[in-house]
Structure 1
Amino acid sequence: MAVTPADEYLIHQTPYTFDRVATSDRNFYDRYFFNGYRRDGDVYFAVAMGVYPNLGVMDAAFSVVQGGRLQYYVRASRFLGDDRMDTRVGPISVQIVEPFRKIRVKVAKNKWGITADLVFDARSLPNEEPHFLRLARNVPVMDYTRITQHGSWSGKLSCNGVSYDLSQDTWWGSRDHSWGIRNVGGRDPRGAPATEMPQFFWNWAPLNFEDMCTLFTVSEYSDGTRWHESGVILKPYPNASEELTRADHSLKFAKGTRWIDSGSVISLIPAKGKQLDIEFKPLYSFLMKGIGYGDPKWGHGMWVGPDEVDGGMYDLALEPPMANLHVQQISEVTAGRKKGIGIYEVIVMGTLAKYGFKELMDPAFGQGSRCRTGGRSRAELPRTESHAESPCAYAGRVRSHEDFPEDERFGLTRQLRRASASIGYNIAEGCGRDTDADFARFLQIAMGSASEVEYELWLAKDLGYLSVASHDRLAEQAIEVRKMLRAFIDRLRHRS
Structure 2
Amino acid sequence: MEARLMFPAKEAGPILDADDPLGHQTAQRAARPAFADVEGGGIFTERFWYMGTNAPAGDIVFGAGLGYYPNRGVMDGYAGVTIEGVQYAFRGSRRLGAAPFETRIGPMTIDVVRSMRWHRIELAANDSALAMHLEYTAAFEPNDEGLDTLEKEGRLVSQVSRFVQMGHFTGWIEVNGRRHEFGSGNPLWGARDRSWGLRLESRTDESHPPVTRFRPLLFMWACAQFEQSAIHFFLKESAPGVVRFVVGDETFAVGSGTASRKVSRVEHDIEWSADPYSQFIAGGRFVLHFEDGTQKTMRMRALPGKFFLKAGLYGGYRGWFQGDDKGPLHMSQVRWDLADPETRRELRTLAEQPMEFDVDGRLGFGTIQGGVAAGYSKYHEVQHLPVM
Partner of 2:82: 65
Give 1:325 shift: 2.3
Supply the distance in 2 between the matched residues of 1:108 and 1:301 (Cα, whole angstroms).
23
Write out the 4+ residue segments of structure 1 that deviate beyond 4 Å after TM superposition: 11-14, 135-141, 184-187, 193-200
Change in CA separation of 1:215 and 1:251 when aligned onto 2, cut-off 3 Å? same
Partners of 1:186 and 1:301 within 8 A in 2 = no
- The residue aligned with 1:239 is 256
CA contact (8 A) 1:214 1:234 kept: yes
What does residue 110 of structure 1 align with?
126
Aligned counterpart in structure 2 of residue 208 of structure 1, from 225, 228, 232: 225
Greater Rg over alpha carbons, structure: 1
The structure with more strand, counted as a fraction of residues: 2
Do the aligned residues in 2 keep the contact of 1:123 with 1:151 (CA within 8 Å)? yes
Partner of residue 267 from structure 1, selected from 275, 287, 290: 287
- CA 1:294/1:184 → structure 2, altered by over 3 Å: closer, same or farther? same
- TM-score calculated relative to the size of structure 2: 0.79
1:88 Cα deviation from its structure 2 partner:
0.5
| Residues 262-301 of structure 1 mapped to structure 2, 5 A cutoff | 262-272=282-292, 274-283=294-303, 284-296=305-317, 297-301=319-323
Query: What SS is found at the alignment partner of 1:36?
Result: strand
Q: CA deviation at 1:223?
A: 6.2
- Residue 44 of structure 1: CA displacement? 1.2
Pick the aligned partner of 2:158 from 142, 161, 169: 142
1:131 is paired with a residue whose SS is strand
Within a 5 Å distance, the mapping from 1:459-470 to structure 2 comes to none
Select the residue among 375, 381, 388 that pairs with 1:351: 375
1:161-183, CA deviations, whole angstroms, 9 ceiling, x for partnerless residues?
Answer: 22122224422210001011122
How much has 1:196 moved relative to structure 2?
7.7
Whole-angstrom CA distance in 2 between matches of 1:115 and 1:195? 34
Q: Does 1:77 align with 2:93?
A: yes
- Name the amino acid aligned to 1:351: G
Residues 339 and 81 of structure 1: CA distance in aligned 2, closer, same or farther (over 3 Å): same
**Partners of 2:214 and 2:349 in 1: CA distance:** 16
Which residue of the partner structure matches residue 253 of structure 1? 272
Partners of 1:300 and 1:177 in 2: how far apart? 16
Match of 1:229 in 2: 246
Distance 1:351 1:303, change over 3 A: farther
Aligned to 1:392: none
Equivalents in 2 of 1:164, 1:344: separation in Å? 24
Give the distance between the partners of 1:276 and 1:321, measured in 2 at CA.
36
2:306 corresponds to which letter in structure 1?
S
Higher relative helix content: 1
Distance, in Å, in 2 between the alignment partners of 1:185 and 1:87 is: 25
Q: 1:225: how far off?
A: 2.5
* Cα distance change of structure 1 residues 100 and 182 upon mapping to structure 2, 3 Å threshold: same
Q: CA deviation at 1:137?
A: 5.6
Give the counterpart letter for 1:269 in structure 2: H
**Partners of 2:241 and 2:360 in 1: how far apart?**
27
From 317, 330, 334, give the equivalent of 2:339. 317
3-state SS, counterpart of residue 228 of structure 1:
strand
TM norm structure 1 = 0.63
Name the SS of the counterpart of 1:305 in structure 2. Answer: coil
Backbone CA RMSD of aligned residues: 3.2
161, 179, 204: which one aligns with 2:177 = 161
Q: Answer 1 or 2: higher relative contact order, Cα 8 Å, separation at least 6.
A: 2
Could you tell me how far apart the structure 2 residues matched to 1:157 and 1:290 are? 17
